[in-house]
Structure 1
Amino acid sequence: MGIGNIFKAFQPKDKVFFVLFEKVAATLTQMSKEFHEGLMDFDINDDTMLKNMSDYEHKLDDLTHEIFVQLGENFITPFDREDISHLASGLDDIADYMYASAKYIYLYKTPLDPAYTEFSLLIYKSCVEIQTAMNNLKDFKNPKGVKESCIKINSYENIADDVLSQAIVKLFETNDAINVIKIKSVLEYLEIVTDKAEDVANTMDSIVIKYA
């Protein structure tokens, strides 16, 4: 390897990583928006929303894979390698659990619980804030903006906890054992999505504390 190529290998790849993370965040926002809209106008006989969720999940898998490829190929990164790994995995988890939620809603074929759309709206709002935070995280240009988005995401997760508790109480009042099992499972998947969003927020907050 020539001396020029050696120096090139050690050059920071800030743009590569930030561009990929911004793509992931934007795709998650699109995915969560379609998920929410799909539940607002839900038709169990039309699986278009489920197919779209699957497509988004595969697209995000590819982007996550590319982040890890770049992590393996580059010696110098814009922030700690472990933080990049945690951030990439956390974002991928949001997509995975969102897709799982959609899948089980279709598989179980139960009446939609009103809490589903409450969750999907919280998930969408969380993803919007993740995208905003990711844009502000680039080059550490707006640490305060990142923190503000992280606080909002944490508040959405707290609301989601309350939504889950109230929905389960109402669910048990129906005395329909089969539907209780099915709907409770979906509700828990939806709540996990907000947990994963909070994990991402905590990772971004940690990065800002370390490097901004």
Structure 2
Amino acid sequence: MGIGNIFQVFQPKDKIFFVLFEKVTENLVAMSNDFNQGLQDFDLNDDSMLKKMSDYEHKNDEITHEIFVELGKNFITPFDREDIHELASGLDDIADYIYSSAKYIYLYKSPQQKAYTEFSLLIQKACVEIQHAFQNMKGFKNMKQVKEACIKINSIENIADDLLSNSMAELFETHDAINIIKVSSVLNYLEIVTDKAEDVANAIENILIKYA
């Protein structure tokens, strides 16, 4: 069945999935914006940023739960049920790891690193591209824009890989074992966020291939 035929049977109740995915991506963009800004203005004695990240993470959990509930209620879905589940889980992972990154910065009392803000900017850009991808998936009318967003996310993940490698090399030059343990742990959490964003992009690309 071609894309046009698929979306002829795309009924109003089916559109709930795109509505919920829009809510998730809006939450992720807001979360990543505040995370990036919070790290730029970082104060270890002010945990307001961490509280914000916790609130965003809980909100994401709630929307993800709504998606799973709707998945159990609705027979008609915009694409395969397992794809919806994979996307919802992947988006939830992004929120989880952003929150974990913030949490361990505070728990470890990790000194601020330039790499933290470099990662947070990459994360923010990846979340924006994920939002763009979902905005253009409606009806599969703007597949080119969806593909371009996915390509940008993959590129961001590659940049994050290099940033992790370079940051770890610089970190080991400090010869400060305790600091190395703390900072490397945070850096790994930050890099995983971009991995999870790439997972979402790959899932979206697989959907495009399946219904092309």
With normalisation by structure 1, the TM-score equals 0.94
1:5 is matched with which residue? none
1:73 is matched with which residue? 73
Conserved? CA contact 2:83–2:203, under 8 Å: yes
Conserved? CA contact 2:61–2:92, under 8 Å: yes
Deviation of the 1:132 alpha carbon: 0.5
Measured on the aligned residues, the alpha-carbon RMSD in Å equals 1.2
- How many Å separate the matches in 1 of 2:191 and 2:145? 25
- How many Å separate the matches in 2 of 1:79 and 1:29? 24
Q: Which structure 2 residues correspond to residues 170-189 of structure 1 after superposition, within 5 A?
A: 170-189=170-189
Conserved? CA contact 2:150–2:201, under 8 Å: yes
1:63 is matched with which residue? 63
2:6 is matched with which residue? none
Conserved? CA contact 1:108–1:182, under 8 Å: yes
Question: Match of 2:95, as an amino acid?
Answer: A
1:136 is matched with which residue? 136
Secondary structure at the counterpart of residue 88 of structure 1: helix
Conserved? CA contact 1:172–1:180, under 8 Å: yes
Question: Match of 1:93, as an amino acid?
Answer: D
Deviation of the 1:53 alpha carbon: 0.2
Which segments of structure 1 move beyond 4 Å, counting only runs of 4 or more? none
State the percentage of identical aligned residues: 73
1:33 is matched with which residue? 33
Q: Write the deviation string for residues 2-23 of structure 1: whole angstroms up to 9, x where unpaired.
A: xxxxxxxx96733100000011
Question: Match of 1:35, as an amino acid?
Answer: F
Runs of at least 5 residues in structure 2 that lack an aligned partner in the other structure? 1-9
Aligned positions, number: 203
2:19 is matched with which residue? 19
Secondary structure at the counterpart of residue 137 of structure 2: helix
Conserved? CA contact 1:13–1:78, under 8 Å: no
- How many Å separate the matches in 1 of 2:61 and 2:183? 27
Runs of at least 5 residues in structure 1 that lack an aligned partner in the other structure? 1-9
- How many Å separate the matches in 2 of 1:48 and 1:104? 14
Conserved? CA contact 1:136–1:145, under 8 Å: yes
- How many Å separate the matches in 2 of 1:112 and 1:172? 16
- How many Å separate the matches in 1 of 2:29 and 2:11? 31
Q: Which structure 2 residues correspond to residues 90-101 of structure 1 after superposition, within 5 A?
A: 90-101=90-101
Question: Match of 1:152, as an amino acid?
Answer: K
Question: Match of 2:44, as an amino acid?
Answer: I
With normalisation by structure 2, the TM-score equals 0.94
